Chains A and B, each alone.
Chain A
Amino acid sequence: MTKYIIRRLLQAIPVIFLISIVCFVLMLMAPGGPQAQFNQNRFIKPEQVDLWLQHWCLVRNPSPPDMIKEYAGWLGVWNCQTQSFISENGGLNFLPSFLGGGVNGMLHGDWGISIYLNQPVLDIILGRLPVTLLLMVTAWIIWLTLALILGVVAAIRRYSFFDQAATLFSYTFYSLPTFWLGLMLIEIFAVTLHWFPSQLIQSPRISPGPFASAVWWQAFWTDPGLYGWDVAMHLVLPVTTLVAVSVAGDSRFVRSAMLESLNQDYVRTARAKGLSERRVIFRHAFRNALLPIITNGALEVAFLFSGAIVTETIFSLQGMGYLYIQGLQAHDYFLLMGIVFIGAILVVVFNLVADVLYAVADPRIRYD
Chain B
Amino acid sequence: MSTVIDLSHVAEAAPGRSIGQKPPDDVLLDVRGLKTYFHVLDGTVPAVDGVDFQIKRGETLGLVGESGCGKSVTSLTIMRLIDIPPGEIAAGEIWFDGVDILSLSPSEMRDIRGSEMSMIFQEPMTSLNPVFTVGYQIAEAVKAHRNVSKNSARDRAIEMLAAVGIPSPERRFKQYPHELSGGMRQRVMIAMALSCDPKLIIADEPTTALDVTIQAQILELMKSIQERTGTALLLITHDLAVVAETVERIAVMYAGRIVEAGTAEEVLLDPKHPYTQGLIASIPSTVPRGQRLNVIKGTVPNPFRMPTGCRFEPRCPHAFGPCKDFDPPLRLTGPNRESACWLQYPPGELPVKETDAPPATPVPVERVGH
Contact = CB atoms under 8 A, between A and B. Distances in A.
Contact of B127 (A269, A274, A276): A269
Nearest to B192: A273
Contacts of B176: 363-364
Interface of A: 264-266, 268-277, 279, 284, 287-288, 291, 361-364
Point out which of A269, A291, A361, A364 has the most chain B C-beta atoms below 10 A from its C-beta.
Answer: A269
B280 interface: no
A264 B113 contact: no
A274 B112 contact: yes
A288 B131 CA distance: 7
A165 B337 CA distance: 55
Given A274-B110, A274-B141, A276-B110, A364 B130 contact: yes
A272 B121 CA distance: 10
A266 B127 contact: yes
B128 interface: yes
18 contacts: A265-B121, A266-B126, A266-B127, A266-B128, A268-B81, A268-B121, A268-B127, A269-B192, A272-B81, A272-B119, A273-B114, A274-B110, A274-B144, A275-B141, A361-B131, A363-B131, A363-B178, A364-B178
A288 B130 contact: yes
B164 to A, nearest CB: 16
A6 to B, nearest CB: 26
Interface string B118-137: 11010100111111100000
B113 A274 contact: yes
Nearest to A290: B131
Interface string B148-170: 00000000000000000000000
Contacts of A271: 81, 113
A273 B127 contact: no
Contacts of B325: none
Given A265-B123, A364-B176, A273 B130 contact: no
Interface in B186-209: 189, 192
The 4 closest A-B pairs by CB, nearest first: A274-B114, A274-B113, A273-B114, A266-B129
A273 B141 contact: yes
B239 interface: no
B199 to A, nearest CB: 14
B259 interface: no
Given A268-B81, A272-B81, A272-B119, A362 B140 contact: no
Contacts, number: 72
Nearest to B178: A364
Point out which of B112, B119, B127 has the most chain A C-beta atoms below 10 A from its C-beta.
Answer: B127
Interface string B169-180: 000000010100
Contacts of B223: none
A135 B144 CA distance: 45
B121 A273 contact: no
B129 A269 contact: yes
A274 B145 CA distance: 8
A273 B129 CA distance: 12
Given A265-B127, A268-B121, 9 more contacts: A264-B126, A269-B129, A272-B81, A273-B114, A274-B145, A288-B131, A291-B131, A363-B178, A364-B130
Interface string B69-87: 0000000000101000000
Nearest to B79: A272
Point out which of B127, B131, B132, B144 has the most chain A C-beta atoms below 10 A from its C-beta.
Answer: B131
Given A265-B126, A266-B126, A287-B131, A275 B81 contact: no
Point out which of B110, B111, B112, B115 has the most chain A C-beta atoms below 10 A from its C-beta.
Answer: B110
B144 A275 contact: yes
B113 A272 contact: yes
Contact of A362 (B114, B115, B119, B130): B130
A273 B81 contact: no
Contacts of B189: 269
Given A363-B178, A364-B176, A364-B178, A273 B140 contact: yes
Contacts of B145: 274
Contacts of B110: 274-276
B178 A273 contact: no
Contacts of B144: 273-276, 279
A275 B137 CA distance: 11
A362 B118 contact: no
Interface in B76-118: 79, 81, 106, 110-115, 118
Contact of A363 (B79, B112, B113, B130): B130
B121 A274 contact: no
A361 B111 CA distance: 31
A274 B176 CA distance: 21
B125 to A, nearest CB: 8
A324 to B, nearest CB: 40
A274 B115 contact: yes
A287 B189 CA distance: 20
